[in-house]
Structure 1
């Protein structure tokens, strides 16, 4: 069998791993990650025990329940642990991918509501990727996919990429292995026609939108959030002059940050502000959000998948409310 797997060192390690799978939807992902952590020198495997207790002195670290009530006991004593081959892991994952609907999520909110903060947290917790429309479009053009070539031709001609092209790019992207169990859409759809086009595309493969969460922040609060935001273009790292200033920030005589002092903590490279992160631009962006994007929530409400989170509170409370919304049936 080779080198024995290293047991989990503490109960906390197991707890952290199990929290990767708050419901059976992400059960296979959780065990793949857990097995890789427990036995890094062998193929990813599930650790299971047919016994009801620790057995032979093995300390029972925890219990996880999968589909149909199947229990998997994780023990600290490698002598009493049964190893299931990696092929069984793949078989279980394939079963979930085939018979469970994809976890198709959307995160909505006006500019500055915190989507860029909450999205990566959901991504890390559920093990499904956050998909940015802009990133997908650039990748399709760079990789010269068929749909990417069409988009490139339109953009070179100075035109706007149509909904059919964007939906086609999403269709290609979600066919990749990391989207097998689900994905989070960021920046799409922005209009009801886009939502309907996306619904049609998902229906063709037997999927549908399973969760829509709106981050609520009063418009009066957003100006401070937006206008104080600075970013590191290369990495996407985000800073805020009040809430998360870079270590290098210095204030000028007018009490405002000196632009020359706004440097990325990791690289010391200059930070920048987006051209539309201004008070005047925000007015138009908010009008567009309320007129074009917010009605999408009404489009999905009849399906019982829409939730709302108060994003105008402490970060820990926002995340706690977000987790509550992510649970099945909690809106």
Structure 2
């Protein structure tokens, strides 16, 4: 099973990524984890990325894609993976496709968690963190900031929905209700649990 998980902030991607990957026996891979591993491990790519981050600049796609490709080439990802947080743009998706083809793989499915914007604002603006013994709202979780983040998502990442739909890979999942209900919908979209293989053309094939 080789899957990309899409969805706006507050859709529950991180939670669902861990559950779905665990149920299907593949690693859940997030770009945040990949960046932290490369920076803390002082890899060549990590040092390059850190230079951009320390300067307050965006890490170029070629560095990010190279990190992701290296991670997908590791032994635990040979049986499959679930990517959370990557790709974020269509150019990144195109580079991911090329990288997977070089590894002899293709994507089996792209799951998009769909939630109404007002519900996303409610979820994110109600989050709290513990500071000096008191629960307070995070600075980036006030409703106005949340709506700005969602606007950026709509501009940069939402077009991936159409990109993967055209490729015949997209399944939209209503990310409302309990965690268990959302998981059940996602697993149903992936088919029955069990090992799967994917040919280099990106078409799913059950094994």
Q: Does 1:317 align with 2:181?
A: yes
Q: Does 1:121 align with 2:12?
A: no
SS at match of 2:141: coil
Supply the distance in 2 between the matched residues of 1:273 and 1:174 (Cα, whole angstroms).
36
| Cα offset, 1:183, TM superposition | 1.1
Supply the distance in 2 between the matched residues of 1:210 and 1:229 (Cα, whole angstroms).
34
- Residues 320 and 206 (structure 1 numbering): CA distance in 2 closer, same or farther, change over 3 Å? same
Q: Does 1:132 align with 2:5?
A: no
Q: How many residue pairs align between the two structures?
A: 193
Please show how residues 156-171 of structure 1 align to structure 2 within 5 Å: 156-171=54-69
Supply the distance in 2 between the matched residues of 1:126 and 1:325 (Cα, whole angstroms).
13
Supply the distance in 1 between the matched residues of 2:138 and 2:36 (Cα, whole angstroms).
19
Q: 2:46 maps to what in 1?
A: 148
Please show how residues 67-216 of structure 1 align to structure 2 within 5 Å: 103-216=1-114
Q: 1:260 maps to what in 2?
A: 133
| Cα offset, 1:155, TM superposition | 2.4
**Structure 1: runs of 5+ lacking an equivalent:** 1-102, 233-257, 263-271
Cα RMSD of the aligned pairs, angstroms, is 2.1
SS at match of 2:88: coil
| Cα offset, 1:228, TM superposition | 1.4
- Residues 273 and 207 (structure 1 numbering): CA distance in 2 closer, same or farther, change over 3 Å? farther
1:85-111 Cα deviation digits (max 9, x unpaired): xxxxxxxxxxxxxxxxxx221111111
Q: Does 1:280 align with 2:144?
A: yes
Deviates most, 161-170 or 136-145: 136-145
Return the TM-score normalized by structure 1: 0.54
Supply the distance in 2 between the matched residues of 1:158 and 1:286 (Cα, whole angstroms).
21
Q: Does 1:301 align with 2:162?
A: no
Supply the distance in 1 between the matched residues of 2:181 and 2:106 (Cα, whole angstroms).
29
**Structure 2: runs of 5+ lacking an equivalent:** 193-203
1:264-298 Cα deviation digits (max 9, x unpaired): xxxxxxxx754322201111111111221111111
Supply the distance in 1 between the matched residues of 2:138 and 2:189 (Cα, whole angstroms).
31
SS at match of 1:229: coil
- Structure 1 stretches of 4+ moved >6 Å: none
1:158-188 Cα deviation digits (max 9, x unpaired): 3221000000111111222221211111111
Q: 2:198 maps to what in 1?
A: none
Match of 2:156 among 292, 302, 305: 292
1:18-40 Cα deviation digits (max 9, x unpaired): xxxxxxxxxxxxxxxxxxxxxxx
Structure with the higher helix share, 1 or 2: 2
Supply the distance in 1 between the matched residues of 2:137 and 2:79 (Cα, whole angstroms).
36
Return the TM-score normalized by structure 2: 0.85
Supply the distance in 2 between the matched residues of 1:301 and 1:158 (Cα, whole angstroms).
34
SS at match of 1:113: coil
